Amino acid sequence: METSIYKDTWDKIQNFQSWRGFISRFPWDKNELSAVYQFGVFTGKSICEIHRNFKETNKNIDIIYGFDSFEGLPECTNQERKEAIEKHGEYQWKAGDFNSHEWHGVDDARQHLEIVFEKYLDREIKLIEGWFENTLNENTIKEYDLKPALFVDIDVDIYSSCYEVLDFLFKYGIAVPGTTLGFDDWGGTPSWKLLDDGNPRAFKEIIEKYKLTIDHVVRVGDAYPHVANVFLVRSVGGKTYES
């Protein structure tokens, strides 16, 4: 019975296709980076997609780290929702959206996905469960032996979570020159083109804080709310990356 449950989950999540298809076509350099991160695991579909696309390249990845509360968007989403509606008249998310336990119909989505990934994927997957305020810290780096990132998939929807993730990555040297950053929700807020809310605002502030230089890789989509964006980190605080 259990095997059937995991197979059913695998059938639901294995063929997802999105902007992450760029991975299979991107000219990955022969550097030492081989760790992949995803912030915002939800169903597990995009981890499968990332894994599948890297298998079509000549770039080996050793491990995928996935961060999620598995309980949906945090409570602060409602404040961002209120501000956006006052300003623009619309906002697509609310606290509790994207609850992994509910989507999978299980009590423990992390454990469920770990078993599915172990059965069907041929790379090590480590899932780190908890709110970002409790997991994005030095203790997690030591406990899970976090490595510098080749690719980071940021699928956290709201401004505050995106800022938390980016600040963690650059503060602790996980995002380095040569890291590629993908933003699933770049156009997820109404004024994304102005860089004054959502993912664009968070990235703009982090670029200034850590003195980043970046290359634009690709943008997928043109209109709210379906815009993703990908960047390559060239330098951090003056430390440069040469391809």
User: Is 60 exceeded by the pLDDT of residue 97?
Assistant: yes
- Taking the C-alpha atoms of residue 146 and residue 129, their distance in angstroms, rounded to an integer, is 15
Backbone torsions φ then ψ of 119, nearest 5 degrees: -75, -35
- What integer best gives the mean pLDDT of the chain? 95
Q: Cis peptide leading into 225, omega within 30 of 0?
A: yes
Task: Give the domains, in start order, of the chain with CATH numbers.
Answer: 2-240 (3.40.50.150)
User: Is 50 exceeded by the pLDDT of residue 1?
Assistant: no
SS3 letters across 133-202: HHHCCHHHHHHHCCCCEEEEEECCCCHHHHHHHHHHHHHCCCCCCCCEEEECCCCCCCCHHHCCCHHHHH
- Report whether 47 contacts 41 (CB < 8 A): yes
pLDDT at position 241, please? 63
Backbone torsions φ then ψ of 16, nearest 5 degrees: -65, 140
Exposed / middle / buried, residue 82 (Cβ in 10 Å: 0-12, 13-18, 19+): exposed
Confidence class for position 231, pLDDT limits 50, 70, 90: very high
Which is it for strands 35-39 and 124-129: parallel, antiparallel or unpaired? unpaired
pLDDT at position 242, please? 60
Question: pTM of the full predicted structure?
Answer: 0.95
pLDDT tens-digit map of 103-136: 999 999 999 999 999 999 999 999 999 999 999 9
CA dihedral sign of residues 70, 76, 80, 82 = positive
CA dihedral sign of residues 47, 178, 222, 159 = positive
Closest CA to 36 of 17, 57, 11, 15: 57
pLDDT tens-digit map of 160-185: 999 999 999 999 999 999 999 999 99
